[in-house]
Amino acid sequence: MAPRNSRTAHPAVSQQIEQMLRARSIEFDFEPNVQISEIRDAEGNQVRLTEHRAPKDQITRYAVAMKHGAQFPAIVLNDRLERIDGNTRLEARIRNGDTTIPAYICHGLTPLEARSLSVELNQSNGLAMTEQEIRRFVDGAVLEGQHADIRSLSRMTGVSDTKIARWIAETQFKARAGREGIEDRHVNVLPPSTRAALHAARLATVFRAITQLAAEARIPAAEAKKVVAKANAAPSESEALTIVAAERDARLEEIRAVGSGFSPRNNRRSQGSAQHIGGLVRFEVDDLLDVAPEKQFETYQRMKLLRDRLNDVVRRAEEEWNLTPPSDETEGRFSDQSD
């Protein structure tokens, strides 16, 4: 969109800024003499933290350079003359006693569009934004219900698309946990990467169950991701919850350790098979035979395959494992679970 009042000969005109505005289909005017007294500093249009805007030492350098004839690009404002970009340039002009400043006036911007433009302008021309500031921008957009284009955000901010995707998933997880009534004590103990992994759970019931389990057992992100994937692949909600319940059974020692104030031991070896076996022993014979007619043949083939594999597993376990009988206490606990 071409500017209506552009003065291409003016030294404050910036082809880079104009290209950026056109790429976003933003209508704008170039005004060489905006009255500084009319410019407003309104919250919601910029992402940079207030304490990081216009550092004093940089204002001094800009002011001195301006006095010696240095030319700087025009600042950027919305059509209410609220700041979007150019805090240091503006403050330097004020320090020098100037009453006007060249500016691009952008029309019809929403606060989110203004913040997005502010990020890109700062990353391209000014002092690069901190990761905290960029994260606040991404979080704010997600909480407003925006659907992020991760590649565009990565290009605009310089943050990897993997990290931005993780930020988005974590923010969505926290919002979802709030809606689902999950207690803060369960949310707060989870590291960001685990929160991001848990957000992938499709069903609300599974999301609640697996989040509570991850918090109580301190499940690492990589392992939480595997459990979520298995639950998502389950053909029904009940079977998905069975997978989570089996995982809880397999992690009882870890849950008890955490509950007693200790870190869980790293005993994750073979937990995948323990999880599936734990799920199977929850079913009675009649439960396993309760299969829709159209799926009976397929299920029968799978059961035969499982039977053959279990026969091999039992044979090798008899040869390779230490099968010393468990104590009475342990044996009783297993009997209670399998009855």
Residue 126: strand, helix, or coil: coil
Residue pair 119/157 in contact (Cβ under 8 Å)? The answer is yes
pLDDT tens per residue across span 254-270: 999 998 888 776 544 44
Instruction: Give the whole-angstrom CA distance, residue 194 versus residue 217.
Output: 12
Residue 165, helix vs strand vs coil: helix
> What tokens were used for 254?
């870890």
Q: Among 8-12, 60-64, 73-77, 158-162, which stretch is predicted with the lowest mean pLDDT?
A: 8-12
What pLDDT does residue 335 have?
Answer: 42
Contact between 230 and 196 under an 8 Å Cβ cutoff? The reply is no
Instruction: Give the number of C-alpha atoms closer than 13 A to the C-alpha of residue 9, restricted to the C-beta side.
Output: 0
pLDDT in tens, 290-314: 888 888 888 888 888 888 878 877 8
Q: Which residue type, as a one-letter code, is found at position 243?
A: I
Q: Which of 64-78, 130-144, 234-248, 255-269 has the least mean pLDDT?
A: 255-269
Per-residue model confidence (pLDDT) at position 265? 65
Cα separation, 82 vs 43, in Å, equals 9
pLDDT for res 192 = 87
Q: What is the pLDDT of residue 163?
A: 87
Closest alpha carbon to 100 in 12, 6, 9, 4: 12
Q: Where are the alpha helices (DSSP H) in 218-260?
A: 221-233, 237-250, 252-259
pLDDT at 125: 67
Q: What is the pLDDT of residue 55?
A: 75
Instruction: List, for residues 185-200, the tens digit of each pLDDT value.
Output: 999 999 988 998 999 9
Closest CA to 98 of 75, 115, 124, 82: 75
Percent of the chain, pLDDT > 90?
Answer: 44
In the prediction, which pLDDT does 166 show?
Answer: 87
- The DSSP symbol for 82 reads B
> What per-residue confidence (pLDDT) applies to 77?
96
Q: Where are the domains of the chain?
A: 15-146, 291-339
Q: What is the maximum span of the chain, computed from C-alpha positions, in angstroms?
A: 92
Rounded to 5 degrees, φ, ψ at 187 are -70, -45
Q: For the whole model, what pTM was predicted?
A: 0.54
pLDDT per residue as tens digits for the range 5-14:
544 579 999 9
Q: What pLDDT, on a 0 to 100 scale, did the predictor assign at position 1?
A: 47
Residues 6+ apart with CB under 8 A from 325: 331
Over 60: is that where the pLDDT of 336 sits?
no
Which runs of E-coded beta strand occur in 63-116?
75-78, 83-85, 100-106
Q: How far apart are CA 213 and CA 29, in angstroms?
A: 56
Q: 123-132, pLDDT tens digit by residue?
A: 776 666 778 8
Q: Residue 54: which residues within 8 A CB-CB, separation 6 or more?
A: 87, 88, 90, 91
Q: Is 1 in contact with 104 (CB distance < 8 Å)?
A: no
Please state the rounded mean pLDDT for residues 59-70: 92
Q: Exposed, middle or buried, 126 (CB in 10 Å: 0-12/13-18/19+)?
A: middle
1: CB partners within 8 A, 6+ apart: 21, 22, 25, 26, 27, 28
**pLDDT tens-place string over residues 220-231:** 999 999 999 999
Tokens matching residue 32: 């060489």
For the cut 60, the answer to whether the pLDDT of residue 277 exceeds it is yes
Please give the Cα distance from 215 to 255 (Å, whole number).
9
DSSP 283: S
CATH number for the segment(s) 15-146: 3.90.1530
What is the reported pLDDT for 330?
A: 43
Mean pLDDT across the stretch 60-70?
92
Give the pLDDT of residue 313.
Answer: 79
Q: How far is CA 320 from CA 75, 288, 315, 317, in A?
A: 75, 30, 9, 5
pLDDT (0 to 100) of residue 50: 62
Q: What is the mean pLDDT of residues 57-83?
A: 92
Does the pLDDT of residue 24 top 80, yes or no? yes
Task: Report, as an integer, the average pLDDT of 56-60.
Answer: 88
